[in-house]
Amino acid sequence: MTLPQFLFFLGFTIVALVVIAFTVVVLRSARFYDGGAFPTGAMIMRLARPGRERVELQRWAFYVHRISGAGVFGFLCLHVVDVSLFAFSPAVYDNVHSLYGTAVMRVIEVGLLFALLFHTFNGLRLVSVDVKDLGIVASTRVLYVVLASTLVFGIVGAYYILKPVFL
């Protein structure tokens, strides 16, 4: 491993640790303010019942939206740094970008893809809820569409991202 690759991994590790720390802060605040950060059997049963308990699913979408936003922001900061390496030396840029073809980085790119998709679709859902003034039932239905779209597009994208590694 060369020095630029090591520095890239060091920066990536720092960004990952910041995102993990942010996740811990969000989940601790969930436990403190909303009565629990971890899904339980009782919560899952409440989600299955109609009525006020649907708010629980909206709450979790809010938390995942914040966490995915932090992850995407961290990636963008790291991406700006690694693309700016070209200004210093094209050889260093090529050296660092050779890491993106490894299996580990491809799996991380799949995680990034899922975070980007969920954050984008959920952001559009939040805008539509605010503009159209949807109620909790319609908002929950749109959230199911967001989750299904994230899974479908994420699985298709994961196939194309991981295809060079496994085939």
Confidence category of residue 162, pLDDT binned at 50, 70, 90: very high
Residues 62, 146: Cα–Cα separation, whole Å: 13
Look at the chain and report how many structural domains it folds into.
Answer: 1
Q: What angle do CA 68, 125, 32 make, to 5 degrees?
A: 50
pLDDT for res 150: 97
What pLDDT digit, counting tens, does each position of 26-42 carry?
Answer: 877 776 555 555 555 65
Summarize pLDDT for 41-64 with one digit per residue, the tens. Answer: 655 555 555 555 567 788 889 889
More confident residue, 96 or 29: 96
Dist. CA 155–CA 160, nearest whole Å = 9
What's the half-sphere exposure (Cβ side, CA atoms, 13 Å) at 157?
18
DSSP 50: S
**Residue 105: which H helix or E strand, with range?**
helix 103-132
Most confident of 3-7, 27-31, 108-112: 108-112
Structural domain range at position 84: 3-166
Cα end-to-end distance, the chain, whole Å: 25
Q: Is the pLDDT of residue 132 over 70?
A: yes
